[in-house]
C-alpha cells in the first residue's frame, strides 16, 4: 500500500496567496494591466459580501489573462515560477517534502489555485502529483470558465480519490500525512492519520500545529 504526503499550497508551502501574486507579477511584466485592479477590488468586495462564491470570483478575477494563447501562458507561468513563485516557498515545507519523499511517501500537492501555474511545482523533483482547479481552453486559448468545481473542501477529497482510482493504487490513509493552513481542508485532514495545521493562529484540540518559515 502507498503512503501519501498531502500538502495544500497557499499559506501552507508558500508565504503568500499565489493567484494574487500571479496577478501582481503580470502587472509587473506589463504596466497596462493595472487597468484590471478595479476589477480585482470589485471581485474581492463581491466575495466579501457573499454575492460571488469562490468559483464566480475566480472566473471574474482572471480577466487579465482571458483568451491568452496556451503557449504564451506556459511561457508566462514558467517565468512566474522562476522569478517569483519559487522564492516565496517556506523552507520548512520543502524540507518536509524531501524528508517524507525519502521515507517512501508519494508527495501530492492539492490546492484550489489554478492548475495552469501550479504545474510549475513539478520543478520540485520530489512532487509526484499536482491537483488544482482546472480552467477550460478553447482553440488553444484560456477561457474564464472552470472545468468542474473549485478544488476546495470535499472537492479535494473527490479529486484525490479520482486520481487514486486512475493510478490504480491502494492507499494507507492511516499512515498518510496532510498539511494545511486552514480548516477548510478538514475533509482531507480527517482522511489521514497524521494531520497537521501550518502556522494556525488558534489552538486546536486534536490537530498538531507546526510553525513553518
Q: Which pTM does this prediction carry? A: 0.94
pLDDT over threshold 90, residue 40? no
Assigned CATH for 4-210: 3.40.50.1000
Q: Which three cell numbers stand for residue 133?
A: 482547479
Read off the pLDDT band of 42 (50, 70, 90).
confident
- Look at residue 23 and tell me whether its pLDDT is greater than 90: yes
Residue 10 in 3-state DSSP? coil
Q: Where are the beta strands (DSSP E) in 27-173?
A: 106-114, 127-133, 135-138, 141-146
Rounded CA separation 171/102 (Å): 18
Indicate the length of the chain as a whole number. Answer: 213
Distance CA 11, CA 198 (A): 8
* Mutual angle of helices 54-61 and 37-48, in 10-degree steps: 170
Mean pLDDT across 12-19: 97
Tell me the domain boundaries of the chain: 4-210
Report residue 52's pLDDT band, with 50, 70 and 90 as the boundaries.
confident
pLDDT at 213 over 90: yes
Contact 11, 111 (CB under 8 A): no
Q: Do the Cβ atoms of 121 and 109 come closer than 8 Å?
A: yes
C-alpha cell at 135: 480552467
Greatest extent of the chain over all pairs of C-alpha atoms, in Å: 52
174-199 tens-digit pLDDT: 999 999 999 999 999 999 999 999 99
Helix (H) or strand (E) holding 88: none
Closest alpha carbon to 126 in 148, 154, 106? 106
List, for residues 94-128, the tens digit of each pLDDT value.
999 999 999 999 999 999 999 999 999 999 999 99
Reported as a single tens digit per residue, the pLDDT across 120-162 is: 999 999 999 999 999 999 999 999 899 999 999 999 999 999 9
Cell numbers 489555485: residue: 113
Q: What is the pLDDT of residues 193-206, one digit of tens each?
A: 999 999 998 888 88
Amino acid at each position: 500500500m502507498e503512503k501519501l504526503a498531502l500538502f495544500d499550497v497557499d499559506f501552507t508551502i508558500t508565504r503568500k496567496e499565489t493567484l494574487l501574486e500571479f496577478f501582481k507579477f503580470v502587472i509587473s511584466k506589463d504596466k497596462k494591466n493595472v487597468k484590471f485592479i478595479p476589477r480585482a477590488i470589485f471581485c474581492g468586495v463581491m466575495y466579501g459580501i457573499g454575492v460571488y462564491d469562490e468559483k464566480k470570483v475566480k472566473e471574474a478575477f482572471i480577466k487579465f489573462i482571458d483568451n491568452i494563447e496556451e503557449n504564451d501562458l506556459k511561457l508566462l507561468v514558467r517565468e512566474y515560477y522562476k522569478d517569483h513563485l519559487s522564492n516565496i516557498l517556506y523552507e520548512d515545507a520543502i524540507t518536509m517534502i524531501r524528508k517524507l519523499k525519502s521515507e517512501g511517501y508519494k508527495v501530492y500537492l492539492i490546492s484550489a489555485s489554478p492548475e495552469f501555474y501550479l504545474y510549475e511545482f513539478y520543478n520540485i523533483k520530489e512532487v509526484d502529483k499536482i491537483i488544482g482547479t482546472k480552467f477550460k481552453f478553447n482553440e488553444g486559448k484560456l477561457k474564464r470558465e472552470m472545468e468542474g468545481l473549485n478544488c476546495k473542501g470535499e472537492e479535494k477529497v473527490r479529486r484525490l480519490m479520482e486520481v487514486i482510482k486512475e493510478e490504480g493504487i491502494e492507499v494507507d490513509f492511516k499512515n498518510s500525512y496532510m498539511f494545511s493552513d486552514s480548516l477548510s481542508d478538514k475533509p482531507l485532514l480527517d482522511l489521514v492519520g497524521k494531520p497537521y495545521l501550518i502556522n494556525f493562529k488558534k489552538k486546536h484540540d486534536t490537530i498538531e500545529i507546526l510553525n513553518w518559515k
